[in-house]
Amino acid sequence: MTDSGMTDDGLRFSFDGEIERITLAEPGKRNALSLQKMQALTAHLKAIDTSASASLVIIDAEGPAFSAGHDLGEMCGIELEASQEIFDACVELMATIHDIRQPVIAAVDGIATAAGCQLVAACDLAVATDTSTFATPGVRIGLFCSTPMVPISRAVGRKRAMQMLLTGNPISAATAADWGLINSVVSADGLDAAVDQLAADILRWSSHTIGVGKAAFYEQIDQSEPDAYEFTKRVMSSNAVDHVAQEGISAFLDKREPEWPA
């Protein structure tokens, strides 16, 4: 894996030819999502998508916190215009995770609170260690976690999201998995292996097909059922006649392994 080293934004990027790993690398700041860090993350994700340099992205972190959320030091005494810039950047980051063709996996070891919890919820998949916790504690400081509730409520449902948002109480990794906020829970020493296996299970398949499916998933998820079917039948019809699907269908009928086009 090629390591590009630390950036000025407290991020570390590494690439192994298929997987881009983005590490939140400011443990002393509990990997707070500063404006600069969010903008850098967004720019890097968009660059990955544009260049198609990787087939999958993993976001992990150093230290005892995956991310404690926004950098509150940036918000002390803040004016409205500057506040809007921070939350515009936050929303753009979360939307970009959904918009890029590559699946994004969060590898969580430690606390993920407020916008950090939002980041986990926004990722396509998430694996966490059994000592990790998740919370939206903004209510405790008078700043309701309104943007985090968007992906969290869509992941865990209304009543569970409201419990997190109104109390600010953390939930365990086991509860987060039960509620659907994350996919699975592993031991601390098993996190890397679990994430690597999940990535390998995805990388077996055509990156083109994965990209088509990911885009369609997020397009249809909030549509009515009739609208979702109307949309997805068009997507699947186009997908069925493209060269990748035709290779996969032929390989299945010929009882051979498919040779996915680059």
Q: Residue 262: is its pLDDT beyond 70?
A: no
Query: pLDDT tens digits for 122-133?
Result: 999 999 999 999
Q: Are residues 37 and 87 in the same domain?
A: yes
Same-domain status, 119 and 230: no
- Report the CATH number at residue 85: 3.90.226.10
Q: Is residue 260 part of a domain?
A: no
Neighbours of 237 (CB within 10 A): 9
169-201 pLDDT, tens digit per residue, is 999 999 999 999 999 999 999 999 999 999 999
Domain count across the chain = 2
Report yes or no on 57 lying in a domain.
Answer: yes
Same domain, 138 and 229: no
Query: Are 182 and 237 members of one domain?
Result: no
CA distance 158 to 209: 32
Domain of residue 144, residue span? 2-203
How high is the mean pLDDT of the chain?
A: 95
Domain for residue 170, yes or no?
yes
Instruction: Tell me: do 192 and 229 sit in the same domain.
Output: no
Distance CA 150, CA 121 (A): 9
For residue 262, being part of any structural domain is answered with no
Neighbours of 66 (CB within 10 A): 30
User: What is residue 28's predicted lDDT score, i.e. its pLDDT?
Assistant: 95
Given a cut of 80, whether residue 1 has pLDDT beyond it is: no
Residue 261's pLDDT band (boundaries 50, 70, 90)? confident
Same domain, 141 and 236: no
Q: What is the pLDDT of residue 52?
A: 80
184 and 211 in a single domain? The answer is: no
- Work out the burial of residue 110: count CB atoms within 10 Å of its CB; fewer than 13 is exposed, 13-18 middle, 19 or more buried: buried
